Each structure stands twice: as C-alpha cells, then as structure tokens.
Chains A and B, each alone.
Chain A
Amino acid sequence: MRFDSLLDTVGGTPLVGLPRLSPSPEVRLWAKLEDLNPTGSVKDRPALRMLEEAEKDGSLRPGCTILEPTSGNTGISLAMAAKLRGYRIVCVMPENTSTERRQLLSMWGAEIIASPAAGGSNEAVRVAKQLAEEHPDWVMLYQYGNPANALSHYEGTGPEILADLPTITHFVAGLGTTGTLMGAGRFFRERKPDVRIVAAEPRYGELVYGLRNLDEGFVPELYDESLVDTRFSVGPRDAVRRTRELLEHEGIFAGISTGAILHAALGQATNAVKAGEPADIAFVVCDGGWKYLSTGAYEGSVDEAEERLEGQLWA
C-alpha cells in the first residue's frame, strides 16, 4: 500500500476477529484496530477532519495557533497534523495524565498548559475556554462540540465496519467526547437501524469527580442520547482485567479504555448467548497500551493495578 503522506493513511483500519474471547461461533466479537492509525489512536480521525474542515471554512489559516483541551490522544493527533501543516498548537491537559502523553505531545511540538487534576477534563475545558477568550486569534477546534469530530466516524469508522461486517448486530465504543458513538451511531441508525449502539464510559477515581458544585458538570455539546441504546460505566478494575485478557487470549496490546469497552462488549455477548441469538459485536480498540505503561496497570496483580490507577485519567 502506497500513500502520498502520513496524513493520507488515517483510517482504513483492520477489523479483527477474536476467536478465543468470542463465546461461540454464533456470538462473535470483532476488534476495530484504531491503534494502527499514524499516531496510534482513533483520535487521528476526528483531529484530521476537524483541522481540514477549519481550513476549508477559512477559520484556520497559515500562521494560526490551534488551541485544544485534551486528555492526550486528540492533542497528540492534532500536534502531528499541525506540525505537518505548519500550525502552532497549544494543548490544555489535566496534570493527572500519563507522562508518555506529555512526552509525545512535546515531541510533536505542542505547547502544554496543565490544568488541575481535580475535576479532570472538565477543568481542561474550562481553562481552554478561558484562554480562547484571552486569545481571540487562536483557533479552538473544540472536539466536544465540533460536528467534524462525529463526521469522521459517520463517514469513516461506521462505513468501514459495515463493509467488513454486514452482519453486525452491536457497535460498542468508548464515551468521552461522544464523537465515535455519535458519528458511527448516526450512520448505523440510517443504514442498519437494528444495530445496537453501546457506550462504555470510564469510571475514574473520586478525585476526577471532585467538582466544586454540580453546575460545573459537563455533557459534550455533541451528545445526542437518542443515538445510543445503552450506556455502561466501567471502573478501573474491570478495565484492567479485560485489557489483560485481550492480550492474554488474543495477543492484542491495548490501552486501558479499550479494556472498558471490551467489558461492555462481553456483557452484550453474554446477553446474546443467554437469549440464544446470534451476534456480531464490533468494538473499538482506541489505542495501544504503550502510553500507559508508566501507570502501572500492566504489572502486578489486578488489585495493585486498580490502586495505582486511583486518581489518574486512564482513558
């Protein structure tokens, strides 16, 4: 396969069967390997699309500075694309994210502004919005509310999966910005409405929910509840356990949020087996485990890993 540049390789990722973790030949799990994108995560899709749309509508011009609140992956994707296109980029990132993410952001040339750990990404969003007001010339692409985020999955992730797996019954993805679920969810609603759209949301330690008051809560502007059929909250223990099972049984080395998504996918598989119904369950592998080695989630017992993740933004 030959491409004109790295940016041209985004998307078109493999969909891989999981013969050992699938409960039966009739109830099968399929992993969409988004870690095979250029910077190693699913976020290359929305990042590139948001950047292209902003160039198209003229809001992003040569010499511009991009601003983005991010817990890591979106920032890394944007930084790579910004470097190749010649933009300066400033990322606001919570201080309780892994050191690998900060290192990668710096490598790709992003300037990092740390936001307080308490409150997690909420604080990053708040700080970024404040910076946007102070620097009206900076361009905030704003993944939580930018329709191009969902569009990248509506036109990419969703159609790719349906082409590879016409018998799909369930689509399972992580819920962060909600872009993956909104885009692929809308695509399946239109093209194969019986596909069940399942959201897996990471449940962090208490520090992350440490809001000063409930009015500081946050629901991404992109989120449309009607595009989701069910939503699960998955804690670090289940996420770590499933991340390890994915490597142990299928050889896939994924990040911790993928473990949370697999947990929800396996729940759907169990339901299908109980109901005696065939199922083809596709789920998103958001990224590889490389960026999370320093969190301690990949060594020692599950108890130890769970303890180490307390207070960290692991997804």
Chain B
Amino acid sequence: MAIEVRIPTILRTYTEGSKSVDGSGTTLSEVIEHLDSNHPGIKDRLVEAKDGDLDLRRFINVYVNDEDVRFTGGLDTSVSDGDQVVVLPAVAGG
C-alpha cells in the first residue's frame, strides 16, 4: 500500500492534472522530496527556507490523516503506508 497524496487544484499543473498521486517516504520531508522527483518544481511551491531551515509556506496547509502537521512535528511528521496526505491552500472561514 502506498501513501496517497491529494493535490489541490492550484498545484495540479505539476501533476498533469491528477488530483491524487502516490507518495513514498517515512517523513513528510521524504514524501515531498519523492513528490518533487516525480513532479519537478512542486516542492518549491510547498516549502520555503525560514531561518535557514525548510518549512511549509505560510499559505500551505498539510494534513496527515486529517491532522494538521504543524502540530505533529511539521516536515518531520512521520508517515507510513496507507496514510493519506492532504495538501490545501489556507482559506478564510467564518
């Protein structure tokens, strides 16, 4: 079983229009690296350098099994086969 990575509309230009692609890795960082090797350029849209370290961009939210990774270790969040990774732009509610 692979990791399912769900791609928001705005980033599907990188995935040839696919809503969902297979991911691989044991951490979110590794999943993003793997994603970028199959879909070059997508990594730059998800992460940026902050204080010398890579971090998620401000308007990008990533959820592993529906939980926001900013509260589970960020890019170091562990991921395993069968997990679902959802990438979404931050939008307003209320």
Contacts and interface: CB of A to CB of B under 8 A. Distances in A.
A217 B66 contact: no
Given A225-B70, A230-B67, A234-B66, A218 B45 contact: no
B93 A219 contact: no
Contacts of A212: 10
Contact of B70 (A125, A175, A179, A231): A231
Interface string B55-69: 001111101001110
Residues of B in contact with A, size category: 20 to 34
B93 A201 contact: yes
Contacts of A234: 66
Interface string B1-29: 00000001110000000000000000000
Nearest to B72: A230
Interface stretch (A115-123, A242-250, A298-306): A115-123
Given A209-B91, A211-B89, A214-B89, A230 B58 contact: no
B94 A211 contact: no
Given A218-B59, A233-B88, A213 B10 contact: yes
A206 B92 contact: no
A143 interface: yes
B84 to A, nearest CB: 11
A144 B71 CA distance: 22
Residues of A in contact with B, size category: 35 or more
Contact of A217 (B58, B70, B86): B58
A232 B67 CA distance: 5
A312 interface: no
A183 interface: no
Contacts of A213: 10
Contact of A125 (B58, B88, B92): B92
Given A209-B8, A231-B70, A176 B88 contact: no
Contacts of B94: 70-71, 73-74, 121, 143-144, 176-177, 179, 220
B90 interface: yes
Contact of A206 (B9, B57, B58, B63): B9
Contact of A211 (B57, B70, B86, B91): B91
B6 to A, nearest CB: 10
Nearest to B90: A217
A125 B93 CA distance: 10
A45 to B, nearest CB: 13
B55 to A, nearest CB: 12
B74 to A, nearest CB: 11
Given A176-B93, A201-B93, A214-B89, A231 B68 contact: yes
A232 B71 CA distance: 10
Nearest to A264: B66
Given A74-B94, A120-B91, 5 more contacts: A121-B93, A176-B92, A176-B93, A203-B86, A214-B60
28 contacts: A69-B92, A73-B94, A120-B91, A121-B92, A125-B92, A174-B93, A179-B94, A201-B68, A209-B10, A209-B88, A209-B89, A211-B10, A211-B89, A214-B57, A214-B60, A215-B59, A216-B89, A217-B58, A217-B90, A217-B91, A218-B90, A218-B92, A228-B71, A229-B71, A230-B68, A230-B71, A231-B71, A232-B63
Interface of A: 69-71, 73-74, 119-122, 124-125, 143-144, 174-177, 179, 199, 201-204, 206, 208-220, 225, 228-234, 315
Q: Would you list the 3 A-B pairs with minimal beta carbon distance, nearest first?
A: A217-B59, A176-B93, A176-B94
Interface of B: 8-10, 45, 57-61, 63, 66-68, 70-72, 86, 88-94
